[in-house]
């Protein structure tokens, strides 16, 4: 990140905190609230304004960069305009509960505009399953579908406090590191710190807020665009990797990708629509097994970080296809352990979480939120 942008970080964080506090009251007045239902894990009406608190100042920041002639922002107008459209879509959906067909139409339009205007799409599988370069029409088509899939995958994991924000924070850090930092740290520095602020409010008892669709859909869009940029061969982000880039991208986005596929497969096998709402996501399973919201989020984030670290360690020694098999087996073992050894796991994780995570949570709530 350009050193000239560092002084903007503290004011940005302050604005996010201020907006989060102010938008709570406006959320109630404007109907931007989450009403508890039979699938909810909360019992009170909660404002859905966390996404707006993060992305309104972020979009204004982007507008400022554009007006001042900052080259990186001007060359990525597809990203900024697309993000603005997704934030608007999510905000309207938070208020009016739009039909799924309309939301998909807008998402596909935004995904197509981003891919075609920026030229960032998956154009090569780098030898995975014996496939190399892809025809442009196929790569573009698959990439548009993938962007829409990721937008909704992140939205679908936003069912427990801090999970979508925490997983997105981890993925933002990994992508910015994999792509060499530099300008990509702009996204991580501002959105990442905004997510940390949000998570403090999200875990607060007195000033609780949710991301809302404006937040979760936007995070999905940002992660999808980073994945597209990372995987496009012309951007030269893969030369230093010792594991197939497609596998790396899937690992970075591991939880929303794997959990959404798992849930869709279960629903289809039962003769249901894959978009049928239920409590089959892994975070719902953990909650139903007695995990707290905080314990569920920290457990899933720790598992994903462990899988990434394990792949980094083993990648120089093993074939990419064997790594896929090992990752699938690892995920299945974790799933079986959660299903059949939940009591022991819950007791262990509660003690572990209290030791390593709860002190940070208490300090944040005391000084920044409550």
Rounded to the nearest integer, the mean pLDDT of the chain is 87
pLDDT at 39: 61
Could you tell me what percentage of the chain is helix, strand and coil, using 3-state DSSP and rounding each to the nearest 5?
Answer: 75, 5, 25
Predicted model pTM: 0.91
What is the dihedral angle through the alpha carbons of 214, 16, 115, 133, rounded to the nearest 10 degrees? -110
Size of the chain in residues = 370
Cα–Cα distance for residue pair 129/110, rounded to 1 Å: 30
Which of 323, 316, 303, 185 has the alpha carbon at shortest distance from 255? 303
72-125 pLDDT per residue, tens: 554 578 899 999 999 999 999 999 989 999 999 999 999 999 999 999 999 999
The whole-number pLDDT of residue 332 equals 85
What is the model's pLDDT at position 62? Answer: 84
Instruction: For the chain, give the percent of residues with pLDDT over 90.
Output: 47
């Amino acid at each position: 990140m350009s050193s000239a942008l560092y002084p903007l970080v503290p004011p940005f964080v302050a604005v996010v905190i201020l907006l989060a506090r102010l938008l709570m009251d406006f959320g109630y007045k404007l109907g931007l609230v989450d009403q508890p239902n039979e699938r909810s894990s909360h019992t009170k009406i909660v404002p859905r304004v966390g996404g707006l608190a993060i992305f309104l100042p972020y979009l204004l920041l982007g507008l400022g960069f554009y007006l001042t002639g900052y080259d990186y922002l001007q060359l990525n107008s597809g990203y900024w305009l697309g993000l603005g459209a997704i934030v608007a879509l999510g905000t309207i959906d938070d208020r009016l509960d739009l039909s799924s067909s309309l939301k998909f139409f807008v998402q596909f339009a935004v995904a197509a505009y981003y891919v075609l205007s920026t030229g960032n799409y998956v154009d090569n599988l780098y030898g995975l399953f014996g496939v190399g370069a892809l025809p442009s029409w196929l790569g573009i088509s698959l990439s548009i579908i993938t962007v829409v899939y990721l937008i909704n995958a992140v939205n679908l994991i936003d069912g427990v406090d801090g999970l979508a924000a925490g997983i997105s924070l981890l993925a933002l850090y990994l992508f910015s590191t994999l792509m060499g930092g530099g300008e990509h740290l702009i996204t991580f520095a501002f959105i990442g710190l905004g997510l940390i602020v949000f998570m403090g409010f999200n875990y607060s008892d007195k000033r609780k807020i949710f991301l809302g669709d404006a937040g979760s859909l936007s995070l999905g869009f940002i992660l999808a665009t980073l994945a597209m940029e990372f995987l496009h061969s012309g951007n030269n982000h893969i030369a230093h990797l010792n594991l197939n880039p497609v596998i790396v991208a899937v690992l970075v986005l591991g939880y929303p990708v794997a959990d959404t596929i798992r849930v869709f497969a279960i629903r289809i096998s039962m003769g249901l629509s894959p978009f049928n709402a239920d409590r089959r996501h892994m975070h719902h399973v953990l909650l139903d097994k007695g995990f707290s919201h905080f314990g569920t989020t920290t457990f899933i984030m720790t598992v994903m970080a462990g899988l990434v670290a394990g792949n980094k360690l083993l990648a120089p020694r093993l074939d990419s296809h064997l790594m896929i098999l090992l990752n699938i087996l690892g995920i299945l073992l974790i799933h079986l352990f959660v299903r059949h050894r939940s009591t022991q796991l819950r007791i262990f994780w509660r003690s572990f979480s209290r030791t390593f995570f709860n002190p940070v949570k208490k300090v944040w709530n005391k000084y920044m939120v409550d």
